[in-house]
Structure formats: structure tokens, C-alpha cells
Amino acid sequence: MGQYGVLVDVTKCIGCRGCQTACKNWNDLPAVKTTFTADWTNPPEMNFNNITLVGFHTIEKDDKVQWRAAKVQCFHCLEPTCFEVCFVHAYNKTPEGAVVYANPEICVGCRYCQLACPFHNIQMKWDEVFSRVRKCSFCYNRLVEGLKPACVTTCPTGALKFGKRDELLQEAKERINSNPDKYFNHIYGEKEAGGTSWLYISDVPFEDLGFNTDVFQKSIPKYTWKYMKKAPILAVSLPIFFAALYAYTKRRAENEGHGH
Amino acid sequence: MYDERYTSRFGFRMTPLRWAMFAFMVLFLAVAGYRFVFGLGPVTNLTDQWTWGLWKYLVFPAVALAGCGYGTVFLAHVLHIRAFYPIVRVAMVVSLMGYSVAMVGLLFDITVYYNFWRPFAYWGYTSILFEVLWCMTLYWTIQILEFGHIAFERIDAPIIYKALDKAMPVLICVGIMLPTLHQASLGGLFIATTQLHPAWWSLWIPWFFMISSLMVGPAVVAFSCWALCRIYGKKFEELMPSLNPLILVGAALMIFYTVLKVWDLTARGAWGYVFEGTLQGNMFLLEHIVFLLVPLVMFLTPSIRNSVGGLVTASLLCGVGVVLNRTNVMFTGMAPAYTHSYFPSWMEWVGFAGLLVGALLVILFFVENFKILEGISDAEEAKDSAVSPVTVQG
């Protein structure tokens, strides 16, 4: 079974925020009081009750000031760092491609997942005593029932397209190749952090949409695991080495002690 | 072995400063209570971006400076080098308190604190934090047992003392492996945080953390011995023959660290980030020139190394350098990746300072009531000449 993904075509997004509302409806998230900001991004930032957010960006293109809107949520890495760095297995990586914070009851609240997320897309409920995190679950409870994620179902313009990730990647390449003048030649999510299930194409550079284009281009867990797998070897060999030194130098010290 | 020379009762000399420290601890306990009842949100200035703040930060310099324990214990107890016997106990006690600060600090920092035991039951073996927690907890336990070996010289319980005495070789050998692993792993935590500024982010960061914790050890021991000698009116000069070779071990490690750093920056082609003139680049230069190369040169100059003022000043610089390194990795180097700024709330500062003041009070209590500053007891030293211990009751 191939992993699922979503292709986001920023050129088709009209910024209606239907996805934001659908996400709140499906996940039963309360409304939050927002503040007025200079652009239309509302609320100004993602938070515990807004795990997806349509970001609005003013861009100068073709000598005109234009708006672009791009929805952001957890990108569902193919090799998720949050899953890798959790020391209690609070996260699940499902065969469908969804990265789910599945076991909040065993979460310690160390927030290493938040720190290590290459896209900073994990949110914390700070106003609670035993606060835990929340992130987009790819509507995993819908996926297993054969439904598309709530945001995709709602999108009226086809800016969000749900399907198998490899097919979507193919389609993204075709869209760019068949219209190279329109699209900026970059599929965000193809290589970022080793690849993500959510793929983005756009007619403007991604840094103009507030995306971190400096993000690590390889799978982070590969590096952490390369380090971690040495630990058991060291844990066994070092004490043996120290014990040998201990015995040897102690004998020497004793011999010297008898010497005088 | 129970030492009959201890005749007076346990005591703690109170001075105006110590009264003030206790008063501060009352405030600290109030803040602690508030934090555990209301959670991190109302107490701290943490955000989704700055999710690791002052309390998590405290673990890194505390454990790094506590690296004075395993390095000195290795030299004195594994390699049995007599020159280090007089100072090894100071190193052990400072190290124990460093870890205590870190462990209590971690409990303050995790939001679901009643789940603190979960990592031991749900093996998240892919996480470097998993290794850090296991090693730190085990090593903390071992350090408490090692301290027990000192404490039961005074507390008359021969069965416990003998059991600890038998276990000591095992405790020592395992007890050096554990910090070797987790000092590296504390750095390894930052492999995953790829947003860290490239001047510091490196796949070698585990080894930098490990070596820097070892190289700062002699400096911490020298400074602690000096401070304790001043407080208790002992002659610091008497410890110089022990500290001098120890400092040279530290200096050798500092040279190794510097070479590795140069190699790492060259291999990654990251020199440009060092000289880019930003806050990050300048802090990197400050850390490595003023607080690494300067103390290194001071340690290597015999006239400075052999003078009390020079030794203590260089040790202080070296210690500040390692603390600055951890600060840069956790704050300075992360800042460019975030749009928010972070400054700890007053309650975070009180928690931070309270843990340090508390640790200081405990160190003072230990030094006043147990044979710490005296070094390894005569009995133990005699035992090294294969004399079987005799228990003195009374």
C-alpha cells in the first residue's frame, strides 16, 4: 500500500479559509479570540486550537502587488523527527503516511518533539496544568474509514488534492513541466526533511510564502539513529575496559605500596 | 570505614548570608508549589517556538560542569594516581550536586510530571533523550551510593559501609561509562534540531559536548577547591600539587577540543558562518577565543598555572566558556530560526536560582559534616596497600 499525501497548488488557493474551519469542525476545536493584524492571516499564528492555518502573503510579482495564500499544517514527514525523538512512543507513524500523536496519556511533556520538528508545526496547550501537544493527524480517523481529510473535502477550488504520494509527486512534476512559465520550479516536500507526505507547488518562491527553505534536505532520523545504535556497544565495552584498567593500576599501586 | 574522630554532632554554621540563602529558598518553594499546581503556562514565558527555556537549559551547563566527577574519578580511582587523592572527593560532591540540580530541574520542566517514569516503561529507544535519561538517572543513583561510601564513614552502620565498599569498584567502572555516554548524548540531542546555527550544528556535536565536559572538569575542581578553602580557612596552596597535573590533563583536552573544532569547521566549510559578523558569529568567536584559547594559554604558562590567582582566573574563564557554549547552542544559535523572542519570567529565574542556591547549601553542609575537603580518608588510602579494613565501633 502506498502512502497517502496531499498536493497543495498555491496558485489555486483563493484564501477562503474553508480548510481552517473544516479542521476545527472535525476535530472539535473551540474558537479562539483573535487580534487584528496587518494581513489577513487569522489567527496570526498557529496554536493549540488552530492546527492548520492559511497564511496570507503580499508579494510583488509582474510589477504588481499580489496576494498569495498557503495553508500550513504538519507536513507528515516520511521519516518523522517527532516520532524518532519521542522517548515514550507517544507518536505513531501509520502505514497510510499519517504521523499521529496517538498516545497522549503516556506523554511526559518534555517537548523535544516541538523543538526537533523541522517545520515547527507542533503546538502546545500551554494554559493547562498537565499540558500536552497537538498536531494535525492527517484526519487519521477519516483515512481509516476511506474518507479524505476534512480540509481536502472542503476545499472548493481543488487547491488541495488527496491521493497516493508517488502519484501526486508525478502530477506535481507534470503540472510544473507543462506550465514552466507559471510555476516556480520547486516541489516543497519532495526532499525537505527527507520528504513529506504533503507536497506544495507555487508560482512564487516558497520563502515568500513564509516557508522555511533552509530546512534540512535529508532525513534527520537517519543521523540520530546512526548515533544511537552505537550506544549499546559502548555501554558494554566501556565498563569492561575501565575494569581492566582498574585491576591493572590497583595491582601496580599495591606492589608499589609493598615496595616501601 | 566508621571514623571515630567524628565526635561532634551534625551541624551547620549559620551566617547572615546563609540566612538570606534560606530565605530565598522559601521563595523558591513557593514558586515551585505554584508551578506544580498551575502548570508551565502561567509560570513561564515559553512559547511553541521557545519550547525549551531556562529550566531545560539549566540541565546542560549543570551536567557539563558536573563532568568534573567522572574525569577525576577516572584518574584517581580507575588509574589509581595518588596525586589526585586529595581532591577527588570535592570533584565527586560537586558532580553529585550538579546532577541533582539537573534531575530536579527536569522534573520542574516536564509538563506531565506524574509521567516522569514512563520512559523507563515505554522504551523509546530511537530517541537520544531516552539514552540521556537512562544514563543520567542511573549515574545519579550511583553517585548517591558513592557519596554514601563517604557518608557512612561518619554514620555508624558497618553493614551498609561494607556493602558499599564491596560495590565500589563496580560502581566506579559503570559510573564512568554512564556519563561518557550521556555527556555525548546531551550534545546528540541537538543533531535533531537542524535549525541550530551552522557554527554549532555539527554531526560531531556529541563529541564536542563530551570532550568539553571532561576538559572543564579540572577547572571546576580547581575553582571549587579554592572557594571551599577560602570559606573554611584551609590552605589552598597545599592542594596545588594535585591541581597542577590535573589542570594539565584539562589543558591537553582543551587542545584536542580546539583541534577538533577547527577540523570540524573546515570539513563542513562553516568558517564563513563564524566570521559573518552576526550576533551568532561574534558569540562563537567570544566563546572560543576569550573563554577557550585564553584560559588554555594561561594553563600552559607555568608562571600563571603555578600562581593561585592565575589558576583560579583561568579556571573561571574555562568554566564560563563551557557554560557559554551550552547557552549558545540552546539560545543564541536557535534564535535566528524563530520569529518570537524569549526572556524568562521572574518565576523562571527564581526556580533557576533556587536550584543553584539549594545545591550550594547542600555542598556546604556536606563539606562541614563529612570528610570532603580532606580528600580520601587515611583508612582508605591505607587499604590501597592491601591492608584489610578494621571496623571501629563506638
Name the band, by pLDDT with cuts 50, 70 and 90, for residue B8. low
Q: What is the pLDDT of residue A228?
A: 87
Secondary element (H or E) of residue A70: strand A64-72
Instruction: Retrieve residue B97's grid coordinates.
Output: 550536586
Report CA dihedral (B256, B257, B261, B267) to the nearest 10 degrees. 40
Find the CB nearest B129 among A85, A118, A243.
A85
Q: What is the CA radius of gyration of chain A?
A: 24
- Record: contact A114-B181, CB cut-off 8 A: no
Domain locations along chain B: 46-342
Is there a contact between A70 and A54 (Cβ–Cβ < 8 Å)?
Answer: yes
pLDDT in tens, B150-173: 998 888 888 999 999 999 999 999
Instruction: Retrieve residue A36's grid coordinates.
Output: 487584528
| The pLDDT of residue B52 is above 90 | yes
Contacts of B188 in chain A (CB under 8 A): 224, 227-228
The Cα-based distances of A89 to A77, A84, A124, B126, B275 in angstroms read 16, 8, 18, 9, 41
Of residues B36 and B391, more confidence is placed in B36
Distance CA B185, CA B129 (A): 7
For residue B78, which of B179, B169, B181 has the smallest C-alpha distance?
Answer: B169
- Record: contact A253-B384, CB cut-off 8 A: yes
Contacts of A245 in chain B (CB under 8 A): 78-79
Q: Does A246 touch chain B (CB under 8 A)?
A: yes
| The pLDDT of residue B390 is above 60 | no
- For cell 564560563, what's the residue? B320
Instruction: Retrieve residue B144's grid coordinates.
Output: 548517591
Separation in Å, CA of A138 to nearest CA in chain B? 20
Of A230-244, B206-220, B338-352, minimum mean pLDDT range: A230-244
Of residues A254 and A80, more confidence is placed in A80
Portion of chain B with pLDDT greater than 70, in percent? 93
Give chain B's end-to-end CA distance (angstroms, integer): 12
pLDDT in tens, B259-287: 999 999 999 999 999 999 999 999 999 99
What would the mean pLDDT of B28-45 be, rounded to a whole number? Answer: 95
Q: Are strands A198-201 and A4-9 parallel, antiparallel or unpaired?
A: parallel
pLDDT in tens, B349-380: 999 999 999 999 999 999 999 889 887 755 45
Q: What is the pLDDT of residue B146?
A: 94
| The pLDDT of residue A137 is above 70 | yes
Q: What is the pLDDT of residue B377?
A: 55
For residue B387, which of A253, A243, A246 has the smallest C-alpha distance?
Answer: A253
Find the CB nearest B192 among A116, A126, A234.
A116
Name the band, by pLDDT with cuts 50, 70 and 90, for residue A217. confident
pLDDT in tens, B283-308: 999 999 999 999 999 999 999 999 99
Q: What is the pLDDT of residue B386?
A: 42
Name the band, by pLDDT with cuts 50, 70 and 90, for residue A259. very low
Is there a contact between B270 and B198 (Cβ–Cβ < 8 Å)?
Answer: yes
Distance CA B61, CA B68 (A): 12
Of A35-39, A80-84, A135-139, B63-67, minimum mean pLDDT range: A35-39
Distance CA B178, CA B168 (A): 15
Name the band, by pLDDT with cuts 50, 70 and 90, for residue B258. very high
Name the band, by pLDDT with cuts 50, 70 and 90, for residue A88. very high
Please give the CATH number for the structural domain made up of B46-342. Answer: 1.20.1630.10
Q: Does A69 touch chain B (CB under 8 A)?
A: no
Instruction: Retrieve residue B183's grid coordinates.
Output: 555527556
**pTM for this entry:** 0.91
Distance CA A208, CA B132 (A): 39
Contacts of B77 in chain A (CB under 8 A): 246
| The pLDDT of residue B41 is above 80 | yes
Q: What is the pLDDT of residue B6?
A: 57
* Average pLDDT of chain B, as a whole number: 91
3-state SS string for A155-212 = CCCCCEEEEEHHHHHHHHHHHHHHCCCCCCCCCECCCHHHCECEEEECCCCHHHHCCC
Contacts of B185 in chain A (CB under 8 A): 227, 231
Q: Does A192 touch chain B (CB under 8 A)?
A: no
- Record: contact A88-B119, CB cut-off 8 A: yes
ipTM value for the complex: 0.89
Q: What is the pLDDT of residue B10?
A: 84
Name the band, by pLDDT with cuts 50, 70 and 90, for residue A256. confident
Q: What is the pLDDT of residue B381?
A: 57
What would the mean pLDDT of A38-51 be, rounded to a whole number? Answer: 89
Separation in Å, CA of B18 to nearest CA in chain A? 34
Q: What is the pLDDT of residue A1?
A: 52
pLDDT in tens, B75-104: 999 999 999 999 999 999 999 999 999 999
| The pLDDT of residue A29 is above 90 | yes
* Average pLDDT of chain A, as a whole number: 91
Distance from the Cα of residue A22 to its chain's centroid:
20
Q: What is the pLDDT of residue B12?
A: 86
Q: What is the pLDDT of residue B75?
A: 94
Distance CA B31, CA B68 (A): 30
Q: What is the pLDDT of residue A255?
A: 79
- Record: contact B129-A225, CB cut-off 8 A: no
Contacts of B386 in chain A (CB under 8 A): 254, 257-258
Distance CA B266, CA B268 (A): 5
Q: What is the pLDDT of residue B311?
A: 96
Contacts of B51 in chain A (CB under 8 A): 111, 114-115, 124
Report CA dihedral (B259, B262, B267, B272) to the nearest 10 degrees. 180
Q: What is the pLDDT of residue A149?
A: 96
Is there a contact between B355 and B58 (Cβ–Cβ < 8 Å)?
Answer: yes
pLDDT in tens, B200-242: 999 999 999 999 999 999 999 999 999 999 999 899 999 999 9
- For cell 479559509, what's the residue? A17
- Record: contact A221-B126, CB cut-off 8 A: yes
3-state SS string for A229-241 = CCHHHHHHHHHHH
Sign of CA dihedral A222, A83, A193, B272: negative
- Record: contact B191-A239, CB cut-off 8 A: no
Q: Does A235 touch chain B (CB under 8 A)?
A: yes
Q: What is the pLDDT of residue B380?
A: 57
